[in-house]
Amino acid sequence: MSNSNRRRPGSTLERLASAAERLGRPAPSLTDAEARRRSRLLLSLLIALIVSGGLILSFQTLTNPGSFDDFDFWLSVMIWLSIFVLYAWARRGHTDAMASVLIAELFVLFTVVPFTPDSLSSLPFYVVIPLLLAALFFPLRRVIQLAALALIVQVGLLALVPPLKSNDGQLMIESILFILPVGSMILVYIHHQNAVERIRQAELRAAYDRLRESEAALERRVEERARALSSSERSLREAQRRYHALFEQAHDAVFILDLEGHHIEANQRAAEMLGYTIEEIQHLSFRDLSAEV
């Protein structure tokens, strides 16, 4: 078998990972990093629910052909099919709306359906799933409201609807007692994460404020330095102006020479005394003038 036809061990997993990455890619209209993160999370959850829900329904159909007569089976099928619609809209950037619909569907499935005939008695325990989803996408207040609503609905239905089986009432009570500690732990965890996030944000703000203060101090020093240089330049120009004024107004001949004896400057009095222009004197050395004298 040639190397080109030999299937690499990781090629299948790589293709699956690439396909999952494409399916979970947020909408181009979402430019904010946090919005893209939440959209990618919801899309990944919907893909997981589509795959796992399809496997569960297929297994239920193969192992229990009589499930076609159950109300909760067809309700599960409808919810599973609706997830495709939720996924299509979530790909367009409607993250919060589709997350709310998904949570509502799962909430109904795990709170109301257990009171229908031939339903799974363990379904109420799964009400933790919409609570977890609410914790992922919404503030703590929404999670508390959803947990309270779950308790109210289950207690109300337990009081109004007679148990369909002899042990249904006990199972419902157990599920309510299960929701209380698990829901409390979820709320405590969310509160802890929010506190950690607040601390992190406070540290970031403090670091940003320090950076801004350092930048402002640096700008002030630069401005002060620029003002000092500007003042020095003005003082130098003023000194030069006064010097040239004194230099030109002197009654005596004044010559300025470099170390080699060349004239750098001469005033008007010097030019008149020697009979040269100032420009001509600047082209003559001390020796040239001495020789002429």
Tell me the per-residue pLDDT of 196-206, one tens digit each, with 9 for 90 and over: 778 888 888 88
Report the C-alpha gap between 129 and 109 in whole angstroms: 11
Query: pLDDT at position 189, please?
Result: 66
Query: pLDDT at position 1, please?
Result: 45
Q: Are residues 207 and 291 in the same domain?
A: no
Query: pLDDT at position 2, please?
Result: 46
Out of 191, 213, 235, a domain closes at: 213
DSSP tag of 27: P
Q: Is the pLDDT reported for residue 170 higher than 70?
A: no
Q: Is the pLDDT reported for residue 84 higher than 90?
A: yes
Q: Are residues 155 and 256 in the same domain?
A: no
How large a percentage of the chain has pLDDT more than 90? 4
Q: Are residues 126 and 203 in the same domain?
A: yes
Does a structural domain hold residue 74? yes
Q: Are residues 25 and 152 in the same domain?
A: yes
Helix H or strand E segment including 256 = strand 255-257
Q: Are residues 31 and 142 in the same domain?
A: yes
Q: State mean pLDDT over 214-235.
A: 88
Are residues 84 and 50 in contact, defined by beta-carbon separation less than 8 angstroms?
A: yes
Q: Are residues 205 and 260 in the same domain?
A: no
Q: Is the pLDDT reported for residue 167 higher than 70?
A: no
Report the C-alpha gap between 123 and 171 in whole angstroms: 10
- Tokens standing for residue 96: 């919060």
Comparing 130 with 179, the larger pLDDT belongs to 130
Helix H or strand E segment including 156 = helix 140-160
Q: What 3-state class would DSSP assign to 25?
A: coil
Q: Is the pLDDT reported for residue 286 higher than 60?
A: yes
- Tokens standing for residue 240: 């030069």
Q: Is the pLDDT reported for residue 115 higher than 80?
A: no
Question: The whole model's pTM is what?
Answer: 0.54
Out of 189, 213, 237, a domain closes at: 213
Find the range with the poorest average confidence among 2-6, 34-38, 162-166, 228-232.
Answer: 2-6
Out of 162, 193, 213, a domain closes at: 213
| Cα four-point dihedral sign 86, 136, 131, 114 | positive
Report the C-alpha gap between 156 and 119 in whole angstroms: 18
How many domains, the chain?
2
Find the range with the poorest average confidence among 5-14, 137-146, 162-171.
Answer: 162-171
Half-sphere exposure for 247 (CA within 13 Å, toward CB)? 15
Does a structural domain hold residue 158? yes
Q: Are residues 161 and 82 in the same domain?
A: yes
Report the C-alpha gap between 99 and 143 in whole angstroms: 13
Q: Are residues 143 and 287 in the same domain?
A: no
Q: Are residues 171 and 293 in the same domain?
A: no
Q: Are residues 35 and 172 in the same domain?
A: yes
DSSP tag of 276: -
Of the spans 40-49, 64-73, 177-186, 239-248, which averages the highest pLDDT?
40-49
Q: Are residues 261 and 205 in the same domain?
A: no
Query: pLDDT at position 89, please?
Result: 92
Q: Which domain holds residue 86?
A: 11-213
Find the range with the poorest average confidence among 6-20, 120-134, 139-153, 187-201.
Answer: 6-20
Q: Is the pLDDT reported for residue 4 higher than 70?
A: no
pLDDT band at 86 (very low <50, low <70, confident <90, very high): very high
